[in-house]
């Protein structure tokens, strides 16, 4: 028998800039799904910056999620399952709000999903966000943005005055969604002056990149970055070389513009796969990522933070204990350094003088491959922790389970999603704790959600979590029993000091 929270009935109608949308009431919340925040980026708008939403007549049905961005179907935990509608007309978002009436506008939490900028969807069951609305009394928003070649390869060099192409399309989508939140969220009971952006992996890269994007400043007021890889933002020279490689893989060298605008989504996905398969000569990079284009994004996020030019909003930022081990598993695509050969190549292409110093810091580790996770996620996040001008709270997520230990990955990339989104008793959570650990995961869920919600409401997590500063480097270690450590993994940090990575 279903509980009263699981019963779905028609919900309230809300007027937005596009028109009226009717939501549903389910799981104890009101939710409006598949709400357009920009015009469909199709046909003449493919590879163009998002345009204003096209108004509709009558009442729009908000009971169904919009199509997910074009991507490979890898499952519904974070992306598109076999039955999920998919298409280029994907610029929609979802709003979830408490059913109770409030005399005051509620804080807003805007989620950007992860997936290396090639997979992900706001409709994934993982990201429903019901707990935030019910428990936190906040308005929760999850956003679709363009992925892969359609969102994160820089084809601007192939545009013409008659048929321009803009760069950083996925980033522009996220800004358009935040502008929609600014203009519309009050109608859903949210406070446009109290917006927290948060995300994991590529979503966290989005958070730290938005903090470095001048045109996004003022659209959000707090930020949470879960396992960001801030260095995965590259200059135009490298980005345009990847774009040229993609055009060749597409078979469009003779007329790149016609090839790009006329290709089917399946052809674009195929060319992207060819490009990824030939990146072995640049280990530790991802071609589908934001680009320093001198326009929307004038400088790399790390340079913006270290130069004091990033948005100085309160920030929670952290990584997981063994970030890189997830990518040792079969079928994982992200190019983290999971072998010493690739590490040697990466240093040769960046800063060879630091190679021996960094590698020496991992000699006594049981898994020397943890260097890859530290290179991509941990050390660049530390650079942001120590440079950010606004208040910072740092964490490391260490909670593991017997299943994860048996797999050899421990508290690896993405594991904090389980407590953040209250997944301890989901089918995935039950599998993760099949050999034990569910009680600890439930307790972690209570603590993490309380911190994230309090941060969204008050601009600071719980009082027992001290701020980070470059002198003490106090960091909260999230484990069965949380603790505060000063400068955790100091030896590793010192070994990486001065490392800048790829341009």
What does the pLDDT look like over 353-368, one tens digit per residue?
Answer: 999 999 999 987 766 7
297 and 435 both lie in a single domain: no
Q: What is the pTM of this model?
A: 0.97
Q: pLDDT band at 336, cuts 50/70/90?
A: confident
Is the pLDDT score of 1 beyond 60? no
Q: How many CB atoms lie within 10 A of CB 374?
A: 26
Phi, psi at 478, each rounded to 5°: -90, 110
358 and 228: one domain?
no
Q: Give the active site residue among 200, 323, 328, 416.
A: 323
Predicted confidence (pLDDT) per residue in 263-282, tens digit: 999 999 999 999 887 766 78
Q: Rounded to a whole number, what is the largest CA-CA distance in the chain?
A: 66
Query: Between the CA of residue 263 and those of 46, 158, 160, 256, 494, what are the distances in Å?
Result: 11, 15, 18, 10, 48
Q: Is pLDDT at 399 greater than 70 in this prediction? A: yes
Among 206, 120, 124, which Cα is nearest to 421's?
124
Range in 73-87, 280-294, 328-342, 450-464 the model is least confident about: 328-342
Domain end, chosen from 310, 334, 369, is at 310
Q: Which residues contact 6 (CB under 8 A, 6 or more apart)?
A: 26, 27
DSSP H or E segment with residue 404: helix 402-407
pLDDT band at 116 (very low <50, low <70, confident <90, very high): very high
Whether 273 and 421 map to the same domain: the answer is: no
Neighbours of 493 (CB within 10 A): 18
What is the structure's pLDDT at 493?
A: 97
Query: Chain-wide mean pLDDT for the chain?
Result: 94
CATH number at residue 444: 3.40.50.1820
Provide φ and ψ at 388, rounded to 5°. -65, 135
Dihedral sign (CA 13, 457, 312, 397): negative
Q: Are residues 196 and 279 in the same domain?
A: yes
Assess whether 323 carries a catalytic annotation. yes
Domain with 296, as residue range(s), is 1-310
Which residue among 27, 30, 388, 413 is the active-site one? 413
Selected residue with higher pLDDT from 2 and 459:
459
Of 201, 227, 228, 381, the active-site residue reads: 201
The span from the CA of 234 to the CA of 499, in Å, is 15
Which pLDDT does position 282 carry in this prediction? Answer: 87
- Once rounded to an integer, what is the mean pLDDT over residues 313-319? 98
| Higher-scoring residue by pLDDT: 462, 264 | 264
pLDDT single digits (tens) 24-62: 999 999 999 999 999 999 999 999 999 999 999 999 999
For the chain, the domain total comes to 2
323 Cβ neighbours under 8 A, 6+ residues apart: 227, 336, 370, 372, 373, 374, 376, 377, 378, 412, 413
Co-location of 174 and 118 in the same domain: yes
Is the domain of 421 the same as that of 483? yes
CB 25 within 8 A of CB 34: no
**256 and 394 co-located in one domain:** no
Convert the pLDDT of each residue in 133-175 to its tens digit.
999 999 999 999 999 999 999 999 999 999 999 999 999 999 9
State how far the Cα of 220 lies from the Cα of 90, in Å rounded to an integer.
23
pLDDT score of 335 more than 70? no
Who contacts 433 (Cβ-Cβ below 8 Å, separation ≥6)?
A: 401, 403, 424, 441
Contacts of 218 (CB under 8 A, 6+ apart): none
């Amino acid at each position: 028998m279903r509980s009263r929270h699981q019963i779905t009935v028609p919900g309230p109608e809300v007027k937005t800039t596009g028109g009226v949308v009717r939501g549903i009431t389910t799981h104890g919340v009101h939710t409006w799904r598949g709400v357009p925040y920009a015009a469909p980026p199709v046909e003449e708008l493919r590879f163009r910056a998002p345009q204003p939403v096209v108004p509709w007549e009558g009442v729009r049905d908000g009971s169904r999620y919009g199509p997910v961005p074009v991507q490979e179907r890898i499952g519904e935990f974070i992306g598109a399952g076999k039955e999920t509608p998919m298409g280029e007309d994907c610029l929609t978002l979802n709003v979830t709000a408490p059913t109770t009436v409030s005399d005051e506008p509620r804080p807003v939490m805007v989620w950007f999903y992860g997936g290396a900028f090639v997979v992900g969807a706001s409709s994934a069951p993982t990201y429903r966000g019901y707990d935030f609305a019910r428990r936190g009394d906040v308005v929760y928003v999850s956003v679709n943005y363009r992925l892969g070649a359609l969102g994160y390869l820089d084809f601007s060099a192939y545009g013409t005055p008659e048929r321009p192409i803009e760069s950083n399309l996925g980033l522009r989508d996220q800004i358009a969604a935040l502008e929609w939140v600014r203009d519309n969220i009050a109608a859903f009971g949210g406070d446009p002056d109290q917006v927290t952006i948060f995300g994991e992996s590529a979503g966290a890269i989005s958070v730290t990149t938005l903090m470095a994007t001048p045109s996004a400043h003022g659209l959000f007021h707090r930020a949470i970055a879960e396992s960001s890889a801030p260095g995965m933002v590259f200059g135009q020279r490298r980005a345009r070389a990847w774009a040229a490689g993609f055009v060749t893989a597409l078979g469009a060298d003779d007329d790149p513009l016609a090839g790009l605008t006329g290709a089917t989504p399946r052809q674009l996905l195929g060319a992207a796969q060819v490009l990824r398969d030939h990146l072995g000569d640049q280990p530790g990079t991802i071609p589908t990522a934001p680009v320093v284009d001198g326009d929307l994004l004038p400088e790399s996020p790390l340079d913006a933070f270290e130069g004091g030019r990033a948005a100085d909003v309160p920030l929670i930022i952290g990584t997981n204990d063994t970030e890189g081990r997830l990518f040792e598993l079969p079928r994982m695509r992200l190019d983290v350094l999971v072998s010493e050969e690739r590490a040697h190549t990466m240093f040769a292409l960046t800063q060879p003088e630091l190679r021996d110093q960094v590698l020496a810091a991992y000699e006594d580790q049981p898994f020397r491959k943890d260097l890859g996770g530290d290179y991509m996620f941990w050390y660049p996040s530390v650079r942001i922790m120590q440079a950010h001008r606004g208040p910072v709270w740092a964490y490391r997520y260490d909670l593991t389970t017997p299943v994860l230990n048996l797999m050899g990955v421990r508290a690896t990339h993405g594991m904090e999603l389980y407590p953040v989104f209250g997944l301890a008793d989901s089918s995935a959570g039950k599998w993760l704790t099949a050999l034990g650990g569910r009680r600890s995961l439930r307790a972690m869920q209570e603590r993490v959600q309380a911190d994230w919600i309090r941060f969204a409401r008050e601009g600071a997590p719980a009082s027992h979590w001290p701020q980070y500063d470059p002198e003490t480097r106090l960091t909260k270690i999230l484990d069965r029993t949380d603790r505060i450590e000063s400068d955790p993994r100091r030896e590793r940090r010192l070994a990486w000091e001065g490392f800048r990575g790829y341009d």
